[in-house]
Structure 1
Amino acid sequence: MPSVKELNAVKQQVEERFLEQANVTGIDVGFKEVGGELTDQIAVRVHVVRKTDDVPDADRVPAELDGFVTDVVERMYVLQVASRPVGMTLEADTRHLSTLKGGISMGPSRDINGSIFAGTLGAIVVDDATQAKAALTNFHVAAVDDTFSIGDRMVQPSLIDTGVAPQGEFGALLRATLSSAVDGAVISIDPGKATSCEIDQIGPVRGTRKAKLGMAVRKRGRTTGLTHGAVDGVSGTIQVNYGDGLGVHTLTNQVSITADPARNAIFSDHGDSGSVIVDDEGFVVALLFAGAGSSTSANPIAAVLSELGISLCTSGPQASESGVPAAHGKSPVKDATDHKPFVKDKELLKEITKDKEVKEFTKDKEVKEFIKDKELSKDFVLDGKQLKDIVDVPVLERPPVGPPGPVGGHSSLEQRLSAVEARLAGLGSFIAPEQRPDLRGAAFSGASQQAADETSQLRAELERRVAEAVAAKTDFDTPQA
């Protein structure tokens, strides 16, 4: 079977010639259709408004191109934003949410030429320039046309879905792009507005991956809700009409999604524009913006993030595109329980435990077992309580391993966890119980016994460390502003 790379090279050689034809709407590399059903054969696919025999011989798509199979599919692409004249009822997702997250209704607070618009807030993101939280959607959802201005206010849910301005406004248009690869927009989020790094009905966003042929995917959109499908085309070049003022745009390197008919008849519809498309493990692969019947088209997520200057807000285990977790496949929890050092860096503890999402790390069962370690805590007593009864979060002693990345503040969770993992990776091995000196006497055989005042100093130092741990726990338990 030919590779996608080989077929893409052929597609690039002929796409300009085919796209000049009036009936052609796009061209990509994907699964060939036979009798309306997708096969597992990969072909160069030419997309047309309507299949017809009334085509001049010079314009016909040959059965093969340079020895590679071709296909012709009917696909007329339209933007999947919902709109209606002011005063007309057309509702879908009418929830007014106190916490913003992906997969929910949103739209501009203004009307455009007598109509109001609705789309989907795809995901919460982080502005690379300011590290502030923001919302991701499409250009044609937030800006709509060429009459937009940076600072245009947005409402959740959309005005179509019972949203009310200004009461329901959550932010303003920060930046937007309609390029040869991306139809995207970033919305600032007003101070005090709560956010969650998850997608409604899907769960936490874990990161990004590249879309691949046959990959199972899903999305949660304003109109059709949670739907399932699969990637059936990649490297697509498609033409979409953006209406008066913008006209027809050609977007390249697009991803094509087909619905899973066993679960849903269609993958998306009007109002689902702006949804992010996610694989089965919670990794985002694309940003939905257009549809053609039962087919959906989306921007590759890597291009979206790059052009808009943002990163996804993530939570949960992080992994690379290959699916292998960072730090040699070992989690911070596993590293911590492997080393079991006693904690004495109070500032590091405060830095790590400030972040609400990193708190989830400290709830891990393995970490709690670490704190219960009898050998670790039996000699540390304060007011009759052992360390395991006082401290319920692990704090890791950090040796100098070079400049660490940020842990708290506004950096992305992926960066913070990477920094934690880097610190953990630099830990040395701990002293096994049988090798530990009895500090009640001399540390080394043959040495003189410690004086009473030395023992008192040692006890005072141990109690001081426990007191610091108690103070750190108080900081941890105090809700963050």
Structure 2
Amino acid sequence: MPSIAELVAIKESVEKKYLAQPGVTGIDVGYKVVGGVQTDQVAIRVHVEEKKKSVPKGQQVPAQIDGVVTDVLERRYELQVTRAPLDVSALADTTHYATLEGGISMGPSRAIGGYVFAGTLGAIVTDEASGQKAAVTNFHVACVDDGWSVGDRQVQPSRVDTGVPPGDEFGAILRAVLSSHVDGAVVSIDAGRTTAQTIVDIGTVNGTKPAALGMEVRKRGRTTGLTYGSVDGLALSVSVDYGDGLGVHVLTGQVSIATDTTKNPLFSDHGDSGSVIVDSTGAVVALLFAGAGTNTVGNPVADVLSELNISIPMGKSIIKDVKDGHKDIIKDKDKELRKDLIKDKELRKEIIKDKELKKELIADGKRIKDIVDVIKVPDLPPIDPGDPGDPGPGLPGRGGFAGRLAEIEGRLSQLESFISADQRPDLSSSAFSGEEELTSDEIAALRAEAERQAADAAAAKTDLDNLLG
């Protein structure tokens, strides 16, 4: 089966043809739906306002496109902003939040054509241009139409939800974009207003992540609150009507979300525009801007960050988790090092034993030398050679050379019994009876191994000191 990237390439090669046909609202790559049930089969999907029994031959979607199975889905897409007359009563979350965070009501201070508008503050972000905290939402939430300007003030909650300017104003439009990929706006935050990198009912925002087919996601919006769904389509090209002054826009590369109807009837509704869509860990994957019924569409987060020049940092709680994880790693490493050090202690014991052995060998050598010194032939009084025929002095009864030789032999016979047989050392083998003698190479190898292990032990201790220090 082709990869997702290959399927997207095939989809892109035909999308202009299908988007130009009447009644077509979008085209993407996603899970095929059979009998209202989503399958695991990935297809090129053509979205239409209404499925018809009779379709002109030139507008029919073939069973396959370039060998890839197709599907036709009945889906309409609308901007999910709420508008109401100025005297309308509140319909959703009307809370005035002392601390600004994601998932809460917001809207422009200005009224447009006698109407006020409501959407959702998606998340607190960092404005890369200034390094200051800011809020992200949709273009059509903060700007509404083509009459907007940088500096337009925003209120929390929206004027639909009982917000009253200027008392409830919290910031102003810094920049906004309505492009082929992004419907977004960045709003400054007034000095003195506190913020939190969290989303109501969800918790900490933990950076960003690309959407993937089958990914379970959540969002918290001003209207439907906390809801659950999953990514059922990628690379969606969708046509959306932005109304007077802006007209129909086609946004490409979008993320399609299917509602988890076991948990909530809808994933989003009017007033939820601007919510960030997050995965199970709190990582942002998309910025919600449109939908209808059980289907929702979001701008991929990478495009949002790039075109709005903002960043969504990893939350403090996840950083703490990572640090704690490193602590666990250090603890595990510490345990391993301690085991190694114990082994090194055993090694040192062996080295000490080797040293004791060397001492014993040296002592044995000294004892052998002492024994040899003891049995060295004692000095004999000098023998005067004299006249060979002269018996010589002090050698009664014997004379001449024969007498002197007899005297030497007598002395030697006395030497033989100088040390008794049971006291004489057996020097015919090594000092350790029954053991083979080490060769010089074996002794050198033993010495090298002991030095290597001692060096490893020293290095292990240094690493442990660095980790714990």
TM-score, normalized by the shorter chain, greater than 0.5: yes
Please say which of residues 85-94 and 174-183 is displaced more in the overlay.
85-94
What does residue 463 of structure 2 align with?
Answer: 429
Structure 1 pair 170/313, CA: closer, same or farther in 2 (3 Å)? farther
For the 8 Å contact 1:229–1:257, the answer to whether it is kept is yes
Q: Say if 2:174 is the partner of 1:140.
A: no
For the 8 Å contact 1:2–1:42, the answer to whether it is kept is no
What does residue 417 of structure 2 align with?
Answer: none
Structure 1 pair 150/33, CA: closer, same or farther in 2 (3 Å)? same
Deviation readout 1:267-305 (Å, 9 max, x if unpaired): 000000000000001111000000022100000001001
For the 8 Å contact 1:124–1:313, the answer to whether it is kept is no
- Cα distance in structure 2, aligned partners of 1:4 and 1:272: 29
- Cα distance in structure 2, aligned partners of 1:38 and 1:279: 20
What does residue 57 of structure 2 align with?
Answer: 57
What does residue 356 of structure 2 align with?
Answer: none
Deviation readout 1:439-476 (Å, 9 max, x if unpaired): xxxxxxxxxxxxxxxxxxxxxxxxxxxxxxxxxxxxxx
- Cα distance in structure 1, aligned partners of 2:115 and 2:314: 35
What does residue 302 of structure 1 align with?
Answer: 302
Answer with 1 or 2: which has the greater Rg: 2
- Cα distance in structure 2, aligned partners of 1:135 and 1:141: 12
What does residue 471 of structure 1 align with?
Answer: none
Structure 1 pair 162/60, CA: closer, same or farther in 2 (3 Å)? same
Structure 1 pair 431/265, CA: closer, same or farther in 2 (3 Å)? closer
| Pairwise CA RMSD | 2.1
What does residue 40 of structure 1 align with?
Answer: 40
- Cα distance in structure 2, aligned partners of 1:335 and 1:35: 50
What does residue 172 of structure 2 align with?
Answer: 172
- 1:280 maps to a residue whose letter is S
For the 8 Å contact 2:231–2:257, the answer to whether it is kept is yes
What does residue 248 of structure 1 align with?
Answer: 248
For the 8 Å contact 1:207–1:318, the answer to whether it is kept is no
Residue 316 (structure 1) shift? 3.6
- Cα distance in structure 2, aligned partners of 1:38 and 1:147: 42
Residue 208 (structure 1) shift? 0.6
Residue 35 (structure 1) shift? 1.0
- Does the residue aligned with 1:245 lie in a helix, a strand or coil? coil
For the 8 Å contact 2:239–2:249, the answer to whether it is kept is yes
For the 8 Å contact 1:99–1:196, the answer to whether it is kept is yes
Using structure 1 for the length normalisation, give the TM-score: 0.68
For the 8 Å contact 1:84–1:90, the answer to whether it is kept is no
Residue 190 (structure 1) shift? 0.2
- Cα distance in structure 1, aligned partners of 2:217 and 2:119: 20
What does residue 158 of structure 1 align with?
Answer: 158
- Does the residue aligned with 1:243 lie in a helix, a strand or coil? coil
Map 1:12-411 → 2, pairs under 5 A: 12-316=12-316, 331=325, 333-334=327-328
Deviation readout 1:24-78 (Å, 9 max, x if unpaired): 1110000111111211111000011111133211110001111110000011110
What does residue 472 of structure 1 align with?
Answer: none
- Does the residue aligned with 1:271 lie in a helix, a strand or coil? coil
Instruction: Mark the runs of 5 or more structure 1 residues left unpaired by the alignment.
Output: 320-324, 341-427, 437-481
Deviation readout 1:72-97 (Å, 9 max, x if unpaired): 00111100001101112242011001
For the 8 Å contact 2:90–2:162, the answer to whether it is kept is no
- Cα distance in structure 1, aligned partners of 2:464 and 2:50: 70
For the 8 Å contact 1:107–1:157, the answer to whether it is kept is yes
Using structure 2 for the length normalisation, give the TM-score: 0.69
Residue 7 (structure 1) shift? 1.4
- Cα distance in structure 1, aligned partners of 2:122 and 2:11: 31
Deviation readout 1:233-256 (Å, 9 max, x if unpaired): 000000000000000000000000
Residue 198 (structure 1) shift? 0.6
Deviation readout 1:365-424 (Å, 9 max, x if unpaired): xxxxxxxxxxxxxxxxxxxxxxxxxxxxxxxxxxxxxxxxxxxxxxxxxxxxxxxxxxxx
Residue 338 (structure 1) shift? 8.4
- Cα distance in structure 2, aligned partners of 1:124 and 1:11: 35
- 2:153 maps to a residue whose letter is R
For the 8 Å contact 2:204–2:317, the answer to whether it is kept is no
For the 8 Å contact 1:124–1:133, the answer to whether it is kept is yes
Deviation readout 1:130-153 (Å, 9 max, x if unpaired): 110000000000000001111000
For the 8 Å contact 1:339–1:429, the answer to whether it is kept is no
- 2:463 maps to a residue whose letter is S
What does residue 393 of structure 2 align with?
Answer: none
- 1:246 maps to a residue whose letter is L
- Cα distance in structure 2, aligned partners of 1:337 and 1:118: 51
Identity of counterpart residues, as a percentage?
59
For the 8 Å contact 1:142–1:185, the answer to whether it is kept is yes
For the 8 Å contact 2:269–2:292, the answer to whether it is kept is no
Instruction: Mark the runs of 5 or more structure 2 residues left unpaired by the alignment.
Output: 335-461
- Cα distance in structure 2, aligned partners of 1:315 and 1:16: 40
Instruction: Kindly tell me the number of residue pairs found equivalent between the two proteins.
Output: 339
Structure 1 pair 64/133, CA: closer, same or farther in 2 (3 Å)? same
Residue 336 (structure 1) shift? 7.3
- 2:47 maps to a residue whose letter is H
- Does the residue aligned with 1:207 lie in a helix, a strand or coil? coil
Structure 1 pair 56/138, CA: closer, same or farther in 2 (3 Å)? same
- 2:254 maps to a residue whose letter is Q
- Cα distance in structure 2, aligned partners of 1:313 and 1:176: 20
- Does the residue aligned with 2:463 lie in a helix, a strand or coil? coil
Deviation readout 1:206-232 (Å, 9 max, x if unpaired): 111100000000000000000000000
- 2:298 maps to a residue whose letter is A
- Does the residue aligned with 1:175 lie in a helix, a strand or coil? strand
- Cα distance in structure 2, aligned partners of 1:313 and 1:272: 23
- Cα distance in structure 1, aligned partners of 2:251 and 2:302: 15
- Cα distance in structure 2, aligned partners of 1:431 and 1:116: 64
Residue 11 (structure 1) shift? 0.5
- Cα distance in structure 1, aligned partners of 2:133 and 2:316: 18
- Does the residue aligned with 2:6 lie in a helix, a strand or coil? helix
- Cα distance in structure 2, aligned partners of 1:4 and 1:431: 49
